[in-house]
């Protein structure tokens, strides 16, 4: 039995502290070096540069960048939604102040890579706890560049994700050290990390809660005889208490002092009175379940990622809205193949990782404390691809363990015992390198464009000098954060403010006729300001119904196409219409193509093609769509549809757009050929008459909008009040 344990365990290492530091440095440098592949490949592409610096490639990054910018500037506008008091923005602003020689745009470009690569530290420390720093080193090499983790910590992906994994894995390492070394200070540090990580990202509260539960189970199953472990456990309940973070930090410090000077001296006395201990533990469990556990479980079960409802009903008002969860890719269902590759880079790596993790947990039960993160990582099957990163470091540990065992088996089977154990390390390194390679290969090919190109940013920079800071920009939520960052204006919706009720007015404004759009935009701006100033939280559409004394929402929407009396607003409203919006126009329409009373969805036809072939009098657009010009019909699959309008637009050298529109019949689908873009649009009357198409394609303002900035990439109009 002893030889079995020795074989499947790890031997002690000489000069362990120095070796650990060496491994940390190598793993960190490797993680950073791999990330520079992206910089080398895209850093010189002109369209990705603004003011000679590479722009970030993550929409949400501009949210945090806006907050840090406003902190540095010392001011921001009321109701501009700038996050000036979040840990991420405060951290970035602080770094910008102590590193003034680094341009701000350069700082946010490189920060996620340098911070995210810190994952190698807790992974190597966990390996050391499990008996081998070499194990942690091998796992760290994979953890830092695994598909999903790389995606969210690469250079340019400026987001809170740069610490979302580093912090909980660090907390796990501290807890494991605490149990192994029986030292309260490790638990105190774990508590501080958990409190901070819940501040850093609210979702990490679930991990903190899970760590308490698993630590409790670990003590009950394997360490119940040690009274000190129950005292250690109380540290881990502090981060999940329903009090402020300042209170949590204070409680943690007070408890540490009590533990040091009072409780530690009572351990032997308590050991002799187990009834007192069990009574106290029962009391703790009851308190936990009542104030933390049950409310937390209720929140989890009612999370949108569990319910995934198609519509969202406003309680009491019975207004149905389309849920944004249905359109968020990272929250959608993904295949098992995608899961395996995002976690480990390949099916082989994934399977070995799962097996290795299982074997590790049998050999070292303390690893069960990491189960909350692994479980959350596999929740990706239900919750979407965003969760895969939580399983990455622990599947990497599993891969490293299998590689080490194979190396040891090979050594024992084919090499003499007198030969150095370095051969075991060499073989395990080669195996791990093979597991890492698919991830490296993916990184080499994974070239992500910046959020906006330089022409779009240049347009926003011009708008910044035209619009006031309190003015609004009407556009879809995908573009909200970068618009606020570069143009320093307000937006109606953004990556965080995009629930069904706020999306509806914007979707309506972009996809309905010009008059309805203009009226909705003014009302949306009015109630954005009104509700903010009067501290009201009711949705804007309900407020509009009340203002016009209308109970039926469909009657109100019909009123918007008439000359209704509008409230006076101080703010100007600008429409930001980028060329790229064609790609998401059908999705935008979903949010207002829904009956507000019944929730029934309506569908309209929209098809675009950026390439085509000409075959005689026919134009082949792909996907079974053909234009039969001689017959003046469109073939969509097996269905023949008459052509209603056939329009051709072209941008001249002077920037002016000319258009020709022919009417072929009184019904059917419409064709638009945007000659300068080589883009074909096949769309029904709904999309043809939409404000986006009328303003961007035809530059038809109807006297309700004024052109402000017009170029091939972006067209900006101002609403006439």
Does the pLDDT at position 383 exceed 70?
Answer: no
CA angle 714-669-588, nearest 5°? 40
Q: Would you say residue 543 lies in a domain?
A: yes
Domain boundary among 282, 301, 320: 301
Regarding whether 709 and 615 lie in a shared domain, the answer is yes
The predicted structure's pLDDT at residue 395: 97
Q: Would you say residue 339 lies in a domain?
A: no
Average pLDDT over residues 156-178: 96
Regarding whether 277 and 180 lie in a shared domain, the answer is yes
Residue 660 pairs in a beta bridge with: 648
* N-term to C-term CA, the chain: 85
Q: Would you say residue 28 lies in a domain?
A: no
Regarding whether 626 and 583 lie in a shared domain, the answer is no
What is the count of structural domains for the chain? 3
Q: Would you say residue 711 lies in a domain?
A: yes
Regarding whether 503 and 469 lie in a shared domain, the answer is yes
pLDDT by residue (tens digit) across 89-129? 999 999 999 999 999 999 999 999 999 999 999 999 999 99
Regarding whether 577 and 460 lie in a shared domain, the answer is yes
Domain boundary among 542, 557, 590: 590
- H-only helix segments in 43-165: 61-73, 87-98, 104-116, 120-129, 133-143, 147-153, 161-164
Does the pLDDT at position 277 exceed 70?
Answer: no
Regarding whether 615 and 585 lie in a shared domain, the answer is no
Residue 672 pairs in a beta bridge with: 647, 681
The first and second tokens of residue 451, run together, are 């959020």
Does the pLDDT at position 137 exceed 90?
Answer: yes
What is the average pLDDT value for the chain, to the nearest integer?
A: 88
* CB-based contacts of 621, cutoff 8 Å, min separation 6: 607, 609, 612, 627, 680, 682
CB 169 within 8 Å of CB 126: yes
Regarding whether 617 and 571 lie in a shared domain, the answer is no
Rounded CA-CA distance 529/571 in Å is: 9
Does the pLDDT at position 301 exceed 70?
Answer: no
pLDDT band at 414 (very low <50, low <70, confident <90, very high): low
Regarding whether 652 and 586 lie in a shared domain, the answer is no
Regarding whether 245 and 211 lie in a shared domain, the answer is yes
Q: Would you say residue 595 lies in a domain?
A: no
Regarding whether 470 and 582 lie in a shared domain, the answer is yes
Domain span at 226: 168-301
DSSP 251: H
Higher per-residue pLDDT: 646 or 407: 646
Q: Would you say residue 238 lies in a domain?
A: yes
CA 264 to chain CA centroid, nearest Å: 44
Q: Would you say residue 191 lies in a domain?
A: yes
* Greatest pairwise CA separation for the chain in angstroms: 98
Entry pTM? 0.89
Regarding whether 578 and 624 lie in a shared domain, the answer is no
Distance set, CA 468 to CA 10, 77, 183, 526, 571 (Å): 65, 10, 57, 16, 8
Rounded CA-CA distance 273/276 in Å is: 6
CA 715 to chain CA centroid, nearest Å: 28
């Amino acid at each position: 039995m002893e030889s079995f344990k020795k074989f499947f365990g790890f031997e002690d290492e000489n000069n362990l502290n120095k070796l650990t530091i060496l491994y940390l440095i190598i793993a960190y440098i490797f993680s950073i070096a791999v990330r520079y592949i992206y910089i080398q490949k895209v850093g010189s592409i002109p369209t990705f540069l603004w003011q000679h610096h590479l722009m970030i490639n993550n929409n949400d990054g501009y949210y945090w960048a806006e907050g840090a910018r406003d902190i540095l500037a010392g001011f921001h506008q009321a109701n501009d939604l700038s996050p000036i008091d979040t840990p991420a923005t405060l951290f970035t602003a602080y770094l910008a102040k102590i590193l003034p020689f680094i341009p701000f745009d350069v700082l946010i470009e490189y920060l996620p890579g340098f911070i995210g690569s810190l994952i190698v530290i807790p992974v190597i420390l966990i390996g050391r706890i499990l008996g081998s720093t070499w194990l942690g080193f091998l796992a760290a090499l994979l953890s830092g560049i695994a598909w999903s983790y790389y995606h969210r910590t690469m250079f340019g992906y400026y987001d809170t994700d740069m610490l979302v994994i580093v912090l909980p894995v660090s907390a796990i390492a501290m807890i494991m050290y605490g149990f192994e070394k029986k030292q309260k200070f490790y638990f105190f540090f774990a508590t501080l990390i958990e409190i901070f990580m819940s501040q850093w990202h609210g979702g990490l509260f679930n991990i903190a809660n899970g760590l308490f539960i698993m630590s409790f189970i670990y003590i009950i199953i394997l360490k119940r005889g040690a009274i000190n472990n129950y005292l250690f456990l109380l540290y881990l309940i502090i981060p999940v208490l329903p009090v402020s973070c300042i209170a949590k930090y204070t409680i943690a410090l007070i408890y540490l002092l009590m533990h040091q000077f009072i409780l530690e001296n009572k351990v032997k006395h308590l050991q002799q009175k187990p009834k007192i201990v069990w009574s106290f533990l029962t009391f703790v469990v009851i308190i936990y379940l009542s104030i933390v556990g049950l409310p937390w479980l209720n929140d989890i079960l009612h999370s949108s990622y569990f319910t995934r409802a198609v519509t969202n009903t406003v309680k009491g008002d019975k207004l149905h809205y389309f849920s944004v969860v249905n359109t968020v890719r990272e929250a959608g269902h993904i295949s098992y193949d995608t899961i395996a590759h995002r976690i480990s880079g390949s099916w082989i790596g994934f399977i070995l990782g799962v097996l290795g993790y299982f074997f590790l947990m049998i050999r070292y039960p303390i690893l069960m404390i990491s189960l909350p993160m692994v479980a959350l990582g596999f929740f990706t099957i239900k919750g979407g691809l965003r969760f895969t990163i939580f399983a990455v470091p622990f599947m990497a540990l599993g891969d490293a363990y299998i590689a080490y065992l194979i190396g040891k088996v090979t050594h024992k089977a084919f090499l003499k015992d007198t030969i150095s154990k370095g051969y075991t390390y060499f073989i395990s390194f080669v195996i791990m390198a093979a597991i890492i390679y698919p991830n490296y290969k993916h990184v080499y090919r994974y070239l992500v464009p910046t959020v906006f190109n330089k022409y779009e940013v240049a347009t926003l920079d011009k708008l910044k000098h035209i619009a006031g800071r309190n003015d609004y920009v009407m556009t879809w939520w995908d573009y909200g954060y970068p618009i606020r960052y570069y143009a320093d204006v307000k937006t109606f919706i953004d990556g965080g403010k995009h629930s069904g009720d706020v999306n509806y007015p914007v979707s309506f404004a972009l996809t309905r006729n010009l008059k309805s759009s203009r009226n909705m935009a003014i009302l949306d701006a009015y109630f954005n300001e009104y509700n903010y100033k009067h501290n009201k939280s009711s949705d804007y559409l309900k407020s509009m119904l009340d203002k016009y004394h209308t109970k039926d929402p469909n009657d109100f929407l019909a009123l918007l196409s008439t000359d209704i009396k509008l409230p006076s607003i101080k703010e100007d409203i600008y429409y930001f219409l980028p060329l790229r919006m064609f790609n998401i126009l059908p999705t935008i329409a979903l949010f207002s193509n829904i009956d507000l009373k019944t929730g029934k969805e309506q569908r309209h036809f929209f098809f675009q093609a950026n390439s085509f072939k000409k075959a005689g009098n026919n134009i082949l657009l792909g996907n079974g769509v053909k234009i039969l010009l001689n017959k003046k019909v469109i073939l969509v699959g097996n269905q023949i549809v008459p052509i209603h309008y056939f329009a051709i637009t072209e941008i001249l050298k002077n920037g002016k757009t000319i258009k020709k529109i022919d009417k072929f019949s009184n019904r059917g689908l419409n064709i638009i050929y945007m000659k300068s873009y080589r883009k074909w649009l096949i769309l029904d009357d709904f999309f043809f008459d939409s404000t986006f198409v009328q303003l961007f394609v035809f530059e038809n303002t109807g006297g309700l909008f004024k052109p402000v900035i017009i170029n091939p990439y972006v067209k900006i109009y101002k609403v006439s009040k």
